[in-house]
Chains A and B, each alone.
Chain A
Amino acid sequence: MSTPASRKRGGWFGWWRSPSRREEVLTGWLFVLPAVIGFVLFMYLNFRGVQLSFTDWSWISRRPPDFVGLNNYSLLLRPESDFLKSMVRTLIYVVFVPVSITIAFSIALLANQAVKGQTFFRVVCYLPAVTGAGVLVIVWTYLFSVDGPVNFVLRGIGIDPPRWTTVTEWKQVALLLLIAWGAAPGMIISLAGLQAIPKDYYDAAKVDGAGAWRTLVNITIPLMTPTLFFQLVLGIIGAWQTFDIIYFWATPGTGLQDANLWTASVQIYQYAFAQNRPGLGAAAAIVLGLVILVFTVMNFVAQRRWVIYDIA
């Protein structure tokens, strides 16, 4: 955009001759300098990441990294590899994203009702996003402990409670419940989408005698598909990188250690630091990055089938 304008005034360096333009260009470069440094550093680190993924070394040894070609990748992609298992486990969180979006959307429908007290309700809904995973996991461990409030309620309604904190599958369910609970803040995004829908559509539906359910299915949901798509893309990218809650819930040293719950990113952390195999960790991160890329591209391809950008 800017280049043709500056060329018109006399070539690539025309801006240098006018003091006012010179000030503008130099100020512009000065202001974006931190961004440029950040970009160069980030790209350098990513190239180094690719490079290191072909090497084998340890943090302690003073020897330079050995080049091992694709060896790390073949280790990671063996059928019995821990990393592959962790990737499959992470898929649980990816598949759970639509559930989280549905929860956020439903709460947003509530928060969009014309009743008093909405400000307070929204403030409460956003609480989970403010609180860190470490705090939440500590509370969750005891909410779901054998003698905890959740089991008390379950026994109260006649259900024999499962062992939330000892059996891997039930630990997994408790984690998913934590994620479902933590999905509430997403309602803010859904609410922004809901409030962007023009009132005319609802007025027209009312004139046509459409009930609440038909209005929801035929107007609200179709008009919300761009917002839902945005949440799906970001949600899936985030779900592949689920780390904090699993670290607190299941790594060695923390409350309920269980390697059968580790997600891909926890496995990457374990390789890179706890197991002192940084080359392997770097390679695993590349694989994760590629999988995220594939899922994002798939999302953008599939959106043509369901996202409605132009309703008229």
Chain B
Amino acid sequence: MAVTAATTSSRRVRSLVSSPRERVRLFVVYGVMGIVTLILAFPFYYLATSAFKPTAELFEYPPTLFPRSFTLDHFPLAFQAAPFPRMLLNTLVICSLTVTGAAISNSLAAFAIARLRFPFRTLIFGCMLITLMIPGWISLVPGYVFWRDLGRTTLNLFGVNIGVNTIGPLVIPAFLTSAYSTFLMRQYFMTIPKELEEAARIDGASYFRIYWRIFLPLSFPVLAVICLGAFMASWNDLLGPLIYLSKPENQTVTVGLSYLNTQHMGVIYRGARFSAALMAAVPILTLYAFTNKYLIRGIVLGGLK
């Protein structure tokens, strides 16, 4: 199979290449694609190499394209400025909880809105879509007041703070759905044939069972996009941790990067800054390396940014 496909496609390419017009087109297309790839990829190459160049080499002019020497000295220096290993762990915890919340809450709501008939369904869906038009900045100050007061209340009543200075304000909202993700899932659920669930109903399956055994497995392409999107948004979130978390040991890596900028302006910190940026970038780029297939295919499918 694979062999046949390869030979036909190479034969097609050869026959295309044979036309001089086509050869020019291929040359131009590959040329421009090459330049675009170079421009997009170079900052990552520059980051990955600079994090391991000794300070002396970092200040060389012209800048060395291929590093001559290798050092790990910048990482301890970065750890002095901010507890990055701890911060990476914090970020991972927050991201995992956010993804869990987004996956559960959005798929349940979307299933109900797409498939179940109940009073106020359309109204509830309409209300969710309205929230998309209100910028989050309006709830910045009242949000802080709310989580501060809620945290004090839960501390007094139950002895647990879930408000300011905990991950509560960053994680709990993910369990309360996001209108965009629910909308995307609802659109996808609408395309699943009704016969499947009708057969299951006749067999006596509960609605939760239908959701769990039929809709959730079938929704993998869109669920993957929502989970990956939630993970990346949470990993790169700046404003949330910036205002709701205050102690360095509770902070996320994204905010940690700004710690390094605060008092560390000296020459020796150039490499430390690169190494910190590398630590913040590698986990999310690794995830992307393994999942880009689902992410990109899913976005093209659903038109999600």
Contact = CB atoms under 8 A, between A and B. Distances in A.
B117 A5 contact: yes
Contact of B305 (A186, A272, A292): A186
B151 to A, nearest CB: 14
Nearest 7 Cβ contacts at the A-B interface: A38-B176, A28-B118, A132-B236, A48-B142, A31-B112, A134-B257, A45-B139
Interface size class of A (residues with CB under 8 A): 35 or more
B299 A34 contact: no
A110 B37 CA distance: 11
A232 interface: no
A80 B175 CA distance: 43
A184 B137 contact: no
B105 A34 contact: yes
A207 interface: no
B141 A49 contact: yes
A254 B261 contact: yes
B135 A289 contact: yes
17 contacts: A25-B116, A25-B118, A34-B177, A39-B127, A43-B131, A110-B29, A115-B26, A116-B13, A126-B296, A181-B43, A237-B135, A241-B135, A248-B238, A254-B258, A281-B141, A285-B137, A285-B138
Interface of B: 13, 26, 29-30, 32-33, 36-37, 39-44, 46-47, 50, 59-63, 105, 108-109, 111-113, 116-119, 121-122, 124, 127-128, 131, 133-146, 173, 175-177, 182, 206-208, 211, 232, 235-236, 238-239, 242-243, 254, 257-258, 261-262, 270, 273-274, 276-277, 280-281, 284-285, 288, 292, 295-296, 299-301, 303, 305
B296 A32 contact: no
A173 interface: no
A42 interface: yes
Nearest to A128: B40
B238 A243 contact: yes
Nearest to A244: B238
Given A124-B41, A126-B295, A243-B238, 4 more contacts: A31-B211, A107-B36, A126-B296, A285-B137
B261 A34 contact: no
Contacts of A39: 124, 127-128, 131
Nearest to B9: A116
Contacts of A265: 137
Given A135-B281, A192-B299, A52 B145 contact: yes
